Each structure stands twice: as structure tokens, then as C-alpha cells.
Amino acid sequence: MNQNKFGIRTRAIHSGQGPDPHTGAVMTPIYATSTFAQESPGVTKGYEYSRSGNPTRTALESCLTSMEEGASGYAFASGLAAETCLLELLPKDSHIIALDDLYGGTFRLLDKVKRISSGLEITFLDLKNPKAISSAIQKNTKMIWVETPSNPLLKIIDLEMIAETAKKHGLISVCDNTFATPILQRPLTLGFDVVVHSATKYLNGHSDIIAGALITREKNELSDRIGFLQNATGAILSPFDSFLLLRGLKTLPLRMGAHTANATEIAHFLEADSRIERVIYPGLSSHPDYQLAQKQMEMAGGMITFFIKGGIEESKLFLQRLKLFSLAESLGGVESLAEHPAIMTHASIPAEMRKKIGIEDNLIRLSVGIEDVQDLKDDISAALDFKNK
């Protein structure tokens, strides 16, 4: 059965997940085994060792591949493990062009790890101008790395333009699709070579596992190399976590609709509050990339960034007073979270670079959950009341 002909809600539930042929179990079993018996030396039933392949992980990888409309998928022990595998594709002393607004962990991996261990050169750039991108390309440039919406400033990058630029110059194009998920946008269909996910976040949706994924547009030398590196470096996702992530994917389309509905209402609510300096949300017409978001994304998503009036102390007071929003790193769970990027998720980025790109001390990031939206608005309003004390 060609499952790719079905809608994404159907694929989230069925792709790679037929009933177990041995028992008829409707849910994919957790194959908790490290090794598999062989009929004779080198003759297997498709599996030999769980680092190299496991049926539960295979089901997950097939489902993710189908949802992103790709050709090959690979599941890892974390988002950063997936990114590390991806960077292992590059020869020593390669050059990467990366968006200047990235998750702090990605920045740390590029700037503090791979720059030292692999001699990587990284140019962090505002990727909205194709001429600026072309000017930044060097003889050793191998890859363009994008997040959209970006973390934490929610920049929207023109994916078709980036994919065309990368193809023109023979570069590997990578999009971190963590914030959007395949429900909001599918970069592979716009020409990207690889999509990366911190599957810990929206894909799983319940804040109870750490996971990552890579999905490629084509089955080719690039995807074969990723498969080789996944096995050779060994940072694979366990069968149990693969099972939980599969379960999370089944409700992803519904959850993203609920996240977006709540976030849209809260973004308008914050924008109307005199205690807030500025709100950044792709679903607001005030967003500088609003028209591109309308064209490129099916929904605006559940992430909001805003600047509270004041500075670091006002930000801390607000965050400490929240009750329903947990003060915590991460995002994308059914529960609402709030955090301070400069102190928490993006602390590894030098202060001067944070300031240059706009991560100020009064910047707060919300991951809006699927609770009753009025309760969330009441929580925000009560936390902001310190301004009137």
C-alpha cells in the first residue's frame, strides 16, 4: 500500500506501522533486544544488531520520513546527536554558512566543538539576502544551515530561495524544522537536502524523552553516508524511546492546531498589553516576515517571543511569578513553558553576539501549551502585575 498518497494525519498514525505479523498487535511492539538470531552466518531476517537497526526504530524512521515527504529517515539519541552525525559528513576544514539566530546548543556544537575538533569555519549570517549568501561562499563552503522559525527570535527564512542558492553552488542545504514540524512546513518539498529535528520537542510532545532525527529528500550517496555514520558513531534512539515518539506522532497534527490556536490568542493578548514592549509571532501582521510566513507555513505554531518593558530584573520577576507556565528549558510539550534565552537556552552564545542579533536581557520565550487559553492569559496577566505593585 502506498501510504504517501494519504493525508498527513493518516500517515502520522499508519506509516511504517502495520499490525505485527506475528501477533496481530495494532501498536508497534517494543523490540527490547540487543541482537538477532541469524539463520546461518550472514543470513538474517533483516536485523542483526540493534545499533545497526531495530524494528521499533525502523517503524519510527519510516513514519518520520513519510510525514516529511522524504526518502530516508534516521533516529538519534538527541537532536544534538543528529546534528553531530550530520556534521560528520563534512571533510576537515570545511566552511558552513549558518543563520545568525540559532538554538544555543547548535551554536555551541558548531563554534565550541566542531570548530576545534574538525577545523570547521562558520559564518553566522542573516540569511534573508541571497546576494549576501553568495558573497559569503568560499572555496571550502559545503553546507548552508537554517532554522525557520528561528530560535528564539522567530525569523522566517525563505526556504525556496535558500534551497535554490545551495543547489546553484553545490552545497548541502539543512533546515532545522523543530519549531514548525512537518505539520506547518515541509522543507524537503521546497528543495532542501536534509531536515533535522530535536524530536524531544513537538514531535514527541510530552516532555518525557530526548530524541533527534534526520530526514533526507532523496535516497542517494548523502543518505547512505548518514546511515553509515549513524551505525558507526552509535548515538541511536532506544526501542523504548522510539515507541514513545511513535505514540507522540499520532497526535501531532491535532496538537499543533491546538498550540497554534492558543499561541495566536496569547500573542494578540500580549500585543495589546501596555506592559509589553514588543511581541514577535509569525501569526501577527506586525511580524516583519508575516507575508512569507503566510506563504510558507500552514500555521504559525506555538512559539512566542516578547520583550517585557524593563530589563533583566523585570524579566526575572515576571518569570518567577508564573504559575501555569513552568520556568524551564525545552519546548513543544502539551504543557506551557517560559524561559529567559540570555540566561538559559542561549547562554553559550557570547553576550556581544546575543546583543548584535537582538537577544536582549528583557527577551522572554514562551512555548504555549494546549491548556485552556483563558487560564494561560490569566497566569500571564497575574505575573505581570508586579509592574503595578
Which residues are tagged catalytic?
51, 103, 176, 201
Q: Which residues contact 42 (CB under 8 A, 6 or more apart)?
A: none
Which H/E stretch holds residue 147? strand 141-147
CB–CB of 105/250 below 8 Å?
no
Helix boundaries (H) for 194-310: 221-233, 239-250, 252-271, 290-296
CA distance linking residue 266 with residue 243, whole number of Å: 33
CB–CB of 211/178 below 8 Å?
no
CA distance linking residue 11 with residue 5, whole number of Å: 9
CB atoms < 10 A from the CB of 291, how many? 11
CA torsion sign for 154, 155, 158, 161 is negative
CA torsion sign for 65, 53, 201, 311 is negative
CB–CB of 138/132 below 8 Å?
no
| Cα–Cα distances in angstroms (integers) from residue 39 to residues 21, 43, 183, 280, in the given order | 19, 6, 42, 59
Burial of residue 116 (CB within 10 Å: 0-12, 13-18, 19+) is exposed
Closest CA to 210 of 9, 304, 17, 76: 76
DSSP 175: E
Specify the residue for cell string 522510539: 242
